[in-house]
């Protein structure tokens, strides 16, 4: 039973740790399906985390914090669009610039506004998203096997966790069952054909980037208002880049993206669980190696286990309308 409880705890941590990866991965899915390579997912998550925690602290409302996180992330997404769509700039350079601006501005504004070394004040319980306890979760907690699964894995998460996993079928429906999704996929493959049909390539790509901003804003708010009780310097810790790796691993498909993010979340949860624990035949593994395990396995998976991943053909290429 102790082994079963340990497995439940690891799986519970897997769900919680995979949420920001999943939201960022779906955000990248929208932009890259529309032909915009967005390496700035990390930066948009970071500004969303700062805006969410700062607003929640000032206005004492988690929902105002979430709204501000989405608003600021969408603004940064539109900046990326202005540089790469309107002015046809290099999308990699634009994304890297957004990451640098986000890393510097969040620390500077945090210090100027709160004088806590770039951090925001610790959030009170009404300034964060608390856990939602499903009906009967406490009553069935003692039931073998099914009780812990229902009370720990299904119940007891914040609303943003359920939003993240519901976003997977919603994204699938948008991409493959709506006119907007069809046009977005077409503009990522052959923008000239879309333009010939009289549809604005720029406006489609801007709408895809707005979707990206919304999802990265929710991901940032989750980091600062659910996982942590406030904003701290560089709290995204490379999650935007891991989300990009998961997107490639998933071959730009939403359901595959969910499983890829769950895999990376599981590796992260396992590395936390095994820190300081002696392993058979190996002994005690250095903490630094366990912390690096998710990143090492990310490289290994991308290098040899996904086969040939073919991105959208127009990805990363500015569209120039023929005259």
Instruction: Give the model's pLDDT for residue 243.
Output: 92
Q: Is the pLDDT of residue 20 over 90?
A: yes
Instruction: Give the model's pLDDT for residue 134.
Output: 86
CA nearest to 236, candidates 43, 15, 32: 43
Please give the residue that has the higher pLDDT: either 196 or 303.
196
What does the pLDDT look like over 149-206, one tens digit per residue?
888 888 889 999 999 999 999 999 999 999 999 999 999 998 988 888 888 999 999 9
Q: Is the pLDDT of residue 323 over 70?
A: no
Q: Is the pLDDT of residue 78 over 80?
A: yes
Q: What's the rounded Cα separation, in Å, for the pair 222 and 159?
A: 10
Q: Is the pLDDT of residue 2 over 80?
A: no
Tell me whether residue 15 is exposed, middle or buried, using C-beta atoms within 10 angstroms of its C-beta: 0 to 12, 13 to 18, 19 or more: buried
What does the pLDDT look like over 32-74, one tens digit per residue?
999 999 899 999 999 999 999 999 999 999 999 999 999 999 9
Q: Is the pLDDT of residue 264 over 90?
A: no
Mean of the per-residue pLDDT values of the chain: 88
Please give the residue that has the higher pLDDT: either 21 or 7.
21
Instruction: Give the model's pLDDT for residue 296.
Output: 79
What does the pLDDT look like over 192-240, one tens digit per residue?
888 888 889 999 999 999 999 999 999 999 999 998 889 998 899 889 9
Instruction: Give the model's pLDDT for residue 195.
Output: 86
CB 226 within 8 A of CB 45: no
Q: Is the pLDDT of residue 133 over 90?
A: no
Instruction: Give the model's pLDDT for residue 16.
Output: 93
Q: What's the rounded Cα separation, in Å, for the pair 170 and 29?
A: 13
Q: What's the rounded Cα separation, in Å, for the pair 23 and 98?
A: 18
Q: What's the rounded Cα separation, in Å, for the pair 297 and 303?
A: 10
Task: Give mean pLDDT, residues 78-88.
Answer: 93
């Amino acid at each position: 039973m102790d082994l079963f409880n340990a497995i439940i705890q690891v799986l519970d941590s897997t769900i919680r740790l995979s949420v920001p990866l999943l939201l960022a991965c779906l955000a990248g899915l929208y932009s890259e399906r529309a032909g915009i390579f967005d390496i700035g997912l990390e930066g948009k998550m970071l500004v969303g985390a700062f805006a969410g925690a700062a607003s929640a602290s000032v206005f004492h409302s988690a929902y105002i914090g979430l709204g501000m996180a989405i608003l600021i992330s969408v603004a940064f997404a539109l900046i990326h669009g202005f540089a790469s769509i309107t002015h046809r700039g290099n999308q990699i350079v634009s994304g890297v610039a957004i990451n640098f601006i986000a890393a510097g501005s969040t620390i500077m504004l945090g210090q100027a506004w709160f004088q806590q070394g770039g951090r925001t004040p610790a959030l009170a319980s009404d300034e964060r998203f608390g856990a939602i306890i499903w009906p009967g979760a406490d009553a069935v907690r003692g039931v073998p096997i099914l009780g812990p699964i229902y009370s720990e894995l299904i119940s007891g998460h914040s609303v943003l966790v359920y939003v993240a996993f519901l976003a997977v079928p919603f994204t699938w429906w948008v991409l493959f069952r709506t006119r907007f999704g069809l046009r977005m996929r077409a503009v990522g493959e052959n923008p000239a054909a879309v333009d010939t049909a009289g549809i604005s390539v720029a406006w489609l790509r801007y709408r895809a980037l707005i979707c990206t901003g919304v999802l990265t804003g929710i991901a940032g708010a989750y980091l600062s208002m659910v996982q942590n009780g406030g904003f701290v310097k560089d709290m995204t810790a490379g999650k935007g880049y891991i989300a990009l790796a998961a997107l490639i691993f998933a071959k730009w498909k939403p359901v595959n993206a969910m499983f890829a993010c769950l895999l990376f979340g599981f590796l992260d949860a396992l590395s936390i669980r095994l820190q300081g624990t002696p392993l058979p035949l190996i002994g005690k593994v250095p903490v630094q190696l366990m912390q690096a395990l998710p990143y090492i396995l990310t490289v290994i998976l991308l290098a040899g286990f996904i086969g040939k991943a073919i991105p959208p053909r127009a990805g990363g290429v500015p569209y120039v309308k023929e005259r």
